[in-house]
Amino acid sequence: MVLYFCLAMTKKNEKINAELYSSIPLAQTIVLFCQAKNIQHIIISPGSRNAPLTKGFTNNSFFKTYSIVDERVAAFFALGIAQQTKQAVAVVCTSGSALLNYYPAVAEAFYSDIPLVVLSADRMPHRIDIGDGQTIRQPHVFEPHLEDAAYLLPDVSHATTTLVDHPTQTLLKKGTTKEAVLSRQLEIQQQNEVNINRVLNSAIDASGPVHLNIPFEEPLYETTNKSIVLSQNTPLSKEVMTQELDGFIDQWNSVKKKMILVGVLAPNSLDQSIVDYLASDPSVTVLTEATSNLSHHTFIQSIDTFIAPLEKSGNSLSAYQPELLLTLGGMIVSKKIKNFLRQNPPKVHWHLDEKKAYDTFYCLTNHISIAPLNFFEALKQKQPTYVKSDYCTHFLAQYNKHRLLGVDYLKKIPFSDLKAFALIFKQLPKDIYLQLANSSTIRYAQLFKLPPLKGVFCNRGTSGIDGSTSTAMGAAWVNDAPTVFITGDLSFFYDANGLWNDYLKPTTRIIVINNSGGGIFRILPGEKDTITYDTYFETVQQRSAKKLCQLNGIGYLSASSSLGLSLQLKRFFRPSSRPQLLEITTPRTINDTVLLNCFSSMQGE
């Protein structure tokens, strides 16, 4: 089923007056460096102190600028764009508490390796902590979740009289000559350029968040048609990582029980020839998560489907213990595979990544600093024959037994979260981008074989629910194909401002599973159905998304039964001139039982 939508797009990024520059040198310098580094998408939140940056970006035809009021939403929206384009994206805010709202997205970008550039306007240093409005101590607020940062020096050639007359400033002495001001300004300009160049290079090179704090003195709105010339712009100097692989390859070829576990991975990270090569090796079992964007009929694509029934039956999992574990990609969702590998550790654990390696299973032996594709290509070239082994077939036999029993169980269950997800994935169109919220949504998605998609994404860096909608809307805006976003009710209502902007693509489809609270807490151990539990854990609620859809110009559909959902999904995926939301209401108190019984049903006799 291929999905096509008509596009009725307006010019959201039309420039106000092309090629005008702020009269403040530091503001000009920031804008010109962003252009030089090909940082094209600029997400701006309203404010006065950041006016020099706003005017500079919006009056330059190179940039695609966006206006989003809520800074937390703006940062996650930017993260979504960067996630899809694999390019650095900048966010711009005014001074004060506005900056602090970026922190959740900064942390997510740090742990998800996404280049996010924070540009925060600030008051002059001598105006901090004296009782002026919209002033906080802005330097260092995001550390240690940054790849780099610079707290830039204010210009002295701008508003010089105001500066000299201020009784507590230390930038210029009273009676300073014009020549001395110009000389000091040249020093400031050169130092700022060096720092800006380094920080922006770090965002791109290290693929992570950075922060530039930028102090401005009034007046803030003046412009000029004369551009300064950058003198300190140097290109990226990314070090080419080389790794001696012969020893690893020899060891690989000698091991009969090898497990490959793949976490968050960008689409097309591995060629199909590599996927087929790994699938053909009888000594290799490949376990993939929904966010791995890897698929093959011999891969274990639902890890919990394999492990949970064995846990419930009390059978030992030690027979599946690998001798060598090879991990690649980002964070792992499945708690069950974490527990299995911690209790049954391999003799050797390698992680493939150019940047970092986490010791998730407490047995990491080697961080192989190389792109996974390069490692597997080298392995493929130098592996003469596959080692004889039944490791993969042993895994697959048990997995397929569980999977088929699970399919039978799904036919019998009442309408519930599990049934809703089964129907959604059965009717999900091919060739779309899928965005998943955290908590229950990503965990339910892990239980199903997904159809061929352009990509599956979820904010697994910090695994928070706070910016799922905003990220999905940013990603959808720059995608060349429709985006389907699946979320739970608490995640959706928490990030309701993610829909408060002018950048909602008509091809976007939002599915809200409304089980009247934090349904995942019903699955976790603990006393249920008490006033304390309902109020402070599950946080039971009776809200509907309908009015939010009316407020934001989104089409609304609803379903509360299996038949109703099947019919509404057909309607939901049809072309339309505006985004659509489908709210699926499920019975709150049975969802946990249905899910846990699913794993029990897979035990068989």
Confidence band of 419 (pLDDT split at 50, 70, 90):
very high
| 444/539 Cα distance (integer angstroms) | 20
DSSP H or E stretch at residue 216: none
Instruction: Give the mean pLDDT of 429-446.
Output: 95
Architecture field, domain 413-601: 3-Layer(aba) Sandwich (3.40)
Q: What is the pairing mode between strands 433-436 and 366-368?
A: unpaired
Instruction: Collect all residues with Cβ–Cβ distance below 8 Å to 335 and sequence separation of at least 6.
Output: none
pLDDT at 485: 98
Instruction: Give the mean pLDDT of 420-425.
Output: 96
pLDDT surpassing 90 at residue 376: yes
Instruction: Give the mean pLDDT of 455-462.
Output: 97
Q: Closest by alpha carbon to 460, among 335, 370, 548, 556?
A: 335
Instruction: Collect all residues with Cβ–Cβ distance below 8 Å to 373 and sequence separation of at least 6.
Output: 269, 270, 271, 274
Instruction: Give the mean pLDDT of 353-365.
Output: 96
Q: Which CATH superfamily is domain 246-399 in?
A: TPP-binding domain (3.40.50.1220)
Which conformational region is residue 467 in: left (phi greater than 0), alpha (psi within -120 to 50 degrees), or beta? Answer: alpha
Architecture field, domain 21-224: 3-Layer(aba) Sandwich (3.40)
Burial 218-231 (b: 16+ CB within 10 A, else e): eebeebeeeeeebe
Q: pLDDT digit string (tens) for 115-148?
A: 999 999 999 999 998 888 899 999 999 999 999 9
pLDDT surpassing 60 at residue 443: yes
Phi, psi (degrees; rounded to nearest 5) at 324:
-130, 125
Q: And the tokens for 368? A: 């192989």
Q: Provide the sign of the torsion angle of the four alpha carbons 77, 83, 85, 86, taken in this order.
A: positive
pLDDT surpassing 90 at residue 253: yes
Task: Express as a percent the part of the chain with pLDDT over 90.
Answer: 80
pLDDT at 522: 64
pLDDT at 451: 87
Indicate where the chain has its CATH 3.40.50.1220 domain(s).
246-399
Q: Which residue has the higher pLDDT, 507 or 9?
A: 507
Q: And the tokens for 143? A: 């550390």
Q: Closest by alpha carbon to 456, among 566, 330, 562, 574?
A: 330
| 135/97 Cα distance (integer angstroms) | 8
Contact 504, 68 (CB under 8 A): no
Indicate where the chain has its CATH 3.40.50.970 domain(s).
21-224, 413-601
Confidence band of 506 (pLDDT split at 50, 70, 90):
very high
Q: What is the pairing mode between strands 348-352 and 433-436?
A: unpaired
Instruction: Collect all residues with Cβ–Cβ distance below 8 Å to 404 and sequence separation of at least 6.
Output: none
SS3 content of the chain, % helix, strand, coil (to 5): 40, 15, 45
Q: Closest by alpha carbon to 90, among 134, 138, 123, 44?
A: 44
Q: And the tokens for 334? A: 């499945």
Q: What is the pairing mode between strands 223-224 and 148-151?
A: unpaired
| 375/449 Cα distance (integer angstroms) | 27
Confidence band of 602 (pLDDT split at 50, 70, 90):
confident
Q: Which residue has the higher pLDDT, 153 or 383?
A: 153
Helix (H, G, I), strand (E, B) or coil at 282: coil
Q: Closest by alpha carbon to 79, among 111, 38, 120, 32?
A: 111
| Mean pLDDT for the chain overall | 92
Q: Bridge-partner residues for 555, per DSSP?
A: 580
pLDDT surpassing 80 at residue 11: no
Task: Express as a percent the part of the chain with pLDDT over 70.
Answer: 94
pLDDT at 604: 67
pTM score above 0.85: yes
